[in-house]
Structure 1
């Protein structure tokens, strides 16, 4: 056996034999699919009480889509809007309504609009558990930024295990 063939075999043997201890792994809370569905249902219900239909997207802590729910009466472009609102809220750890309002007053915040994945329209709210980000919810198509934001907040209120946003819904943006 030559060195080049022995090296991969040795690495595999080492990797298999190397013990993994629990303290070597980072353990983080996560939004489950069940919770994501509860959030989507609660957001849709809250908007329905306002006489509105919506699209809602729920992302996990890594920014991956867990659930998207679209009422057939809502335009399909709102699917991407809801996802991007959730992504923006997750990545900035700030409600998109707050970001949009800040961008109207501050050129530095306004520059966030130049990043292709961010969307500074109300309706995206980060999800946190004991202060740690675990995902985000995005609502679109509810008849305006205020409605979308209110329906996202109502969804979070329906899941008591999540931190409940305060009037200043999140930490400062970057």
Structure 2
């Protein structure tokens, strides 16, 4: 049996090993203390993240259920008159919430309905009224995403526009707008 001579470890190796062991022991103790703490310590909120009530505004939004109900009411009104239309409902920012394309609606009706809804909510007015304004301000039609043809109706709450309903595909803008108004009326029931 041969004996191996005992290797000496350097001071540096012993210090490094001791430091690693102390760190592991400290981490385990910290974890155990953290895991058993009853309540977290209060944290400081940065001043920039704390908003005062006077710095906030509230807005009202149409729910997806309400938007769907309005769109379906407009589509139903059109179908009762044998009209093939598309109905779009947009939120206050002009983002599409729901679009229903009726059976047989033309391919152009989808985009037209969205643009009419966007135009109605943007100016908080029916698009038939806005189309009349083009006589005195023809450059309005150059605003991206708008369509100044009858068929869009705004939805308001608390005196402010919260959505727009656009209908396209009927043979006249007056019919499109009549169906859009049926969608608005469905929201007050």
Deviation at 1:22, TM superposition (A): 5.2
Q: Is 1:111–2:139 an aligned residue pair? A: yes
Distance in 1 of aligned mates of 2:144 and 2:71:
25
Q: Is 1:144–2:172 an aligned residue pair? A: yes
| Structure 2 contact 85–106 (Cα < 8 Å) conserved | no
Corresponding residue of 1:165: none
Q: Is 1:93–2:124 an aligned residue pair? A: yes
| Structure 2 contact 120–127 (Cα < 8 Å) conserved | yes
Q: What is the TM-score normalised by the length of structure 1?
A: 0.76
Distance in 2 of aligned mates of 1:50 and 1:15:
60
Q: Could you tell me which runs of 5 or more consecutive residues in structure 2 were left unpaired when the two chains were aligned.
A: 1-43
The aligned runs of 1:11-50 (5 Å cut-off) are 15=46, 18-20=49-51, 24-50=55-81
Deviation at 1:72, TM superposition (A): 3.4
Q: What is the TM-score normalised by the length of structure 2?
A: 0.70
Corresponding residue of 1:78: 109
Q: What is the RMSD of the two structures over their aligned residues, measured on CA atoms?
A: 2.1
Matched residue pairs, number? Answer: 146
Distance 1:16 1:107, change over 3 A: closer
Q: Is 1:57–2:88 an aligned residue pair? A: yes
Deviations 1:94-138 (A, max 9, x none): 2111122343xx232x32112232111111111101211111111
Distance 1:19 1:157, change over 3 A: same
Q: Could you tell me which runs of 5 or more consecutive residues in structure 1 were left unpaired when the two chains were aligned.
A: 1-12, 162-174
